[in-house]
Amino acid sequence: MRKHTAKMGSAGLGRVLPVVIPTLFLLAWIVVSTTGLIPTYLLPHPLEIAEAGYAYVLGHPGEAPYAGRFLGDAGASLFRVGCGFTAAVAIGLPLGILSGRLFVIRKLMSTSVNALRAVPGITWLPLALVWFGIGMKTTIFLVALAAFFPIYLNAATGAGQVNPILLQAGAMMGVKRLRGTFAILLPGAMPHLMTGLRLGLGISWAYLVLGELTGVPNGLGAVIMDARMLGRIDMIVVGIIVIAVIGRMSDQLLQVGMRFCFKSARRMA
């Protein structure tokens, strides 16, 4: 549905409200750091973080221990998330839609999916390490596995909940199965598909860090783990902030991309 035009006042309010809590949080942080309420070896001053972050993102390699590593780390992490998430979408989306529509597939999948879902993703880490070794493959495996479930489950719900009267309407207008799937079923399920993709992408970042904590040489998770061992609390916080920012940006990119590609995402989700 098209959104109703926001009232004059709420447009400005809509821009202010999202930054209220982060601002208050930052102020409180400055206060507790400056007054020494929390010692800096537990939580460094925001300025230290800013300096470390500046060096990490914009510094030249070699200037300082982490200077200029950002691009390489972010690139490696994005690639891993991209591979894992793509695999999860490629398997989870079609399988979810099939199980939402077809009784046989739904029943066939139910035991396995629900049993596997009960196992926390982190449990797979030791096994993945044995299978794939430390690094790239393990990380991609964990990301794909974790992102699969929200994508699969939401696709199944969405496909199952498409109003049957829309499919009947299509059938009476002479729409065959293939076109019905792409022109009615998928758009009808779009709000759920979108939710699944967004949840899946979000959880991808969580499992990326898990995979990278195991001792890969590069990546955002690796930086955090490395910094912990060297006692660089400021770099841990920088790593957290960078992941938060990139995670949020990738979520928005996903939404913008989906809205650009699909009318149903533009008009309904």
Partner 1 sequence: MTSRLKAVPLRRSEVKEKVLCIDRLSKGFHTAAGYLSVLDDVSFEAESGELIAILGRSGCGKSTLLKIVAGFIPPGSGNVLLNQKPVTGPGPDRCVIFQEDALFPWLTVGENIAFGLKGQKQSGKSRATEMNRFLKLVGLNEFRDYLPGELSGGMKQRVALARVLILKPSVLLMDEPFASLDAQSREEMQNLLLRLWKELSHTILFVTHDVNEAVILADRILLMDKNPGRVREEIRVNLPRPRKRESSAFMDVSRRLNEALRD
Rounded least distance, CB 268 to partner 1, Å: 5
d(CA 81, CA 202): 10
Q: Which two tokens stand for residue 252?
A: 């928005």
Burial class, 42, CB count within 10 angstroms (exposed 0-12 / middle 13-18 / buried 19+) = exposed
Does residue 91 touch partner 1 according to CB under 8 A? no
User: Considering only residues 161-190, where is the footprint of partner 1 by CB under 8 A?
Assistant: 163, 165-166, 168-169, 171-176, 179, 183-184, 187-188, 190
Torsion region of 64: left, alpha or beta (phi above 0 gives left; psi -120 to 50 gives alpha):
beta
**CA 212-213-216 angle, 5° bins:** 50
Does residue 26 touch partner 1 according to CB under 8 A? no
Rounded least distance, CB 89 to partner 1, Å: 21
Rounded least distance, CB 161 to partner 1, Å: 13
What is the 8-class DSSP label of residue 137? Answer: H
Rounded least distance, CB 142 to partner 1, Å: 35
d(CA 6, CA 13): 10
Nearer to partner 1, 104 or 173 (CB): 173
Does residue 242 touch partner 1 according to CB under 8 A? no
Does residue 1 touch partner 1 according to CB under 8 A? yes
Rounded least distance, CB 2 to partner 1, Å: 6
**Nearest C-alpha neighbor of 101 from the set 29, 57, 24, 167:** 167
Residues interacting with partner 1, by CB under 8 A? 1-2, 163, 165-166, 168-169, 171-176, 179, 183-184, 187-188, 190, 263-264, 267-268
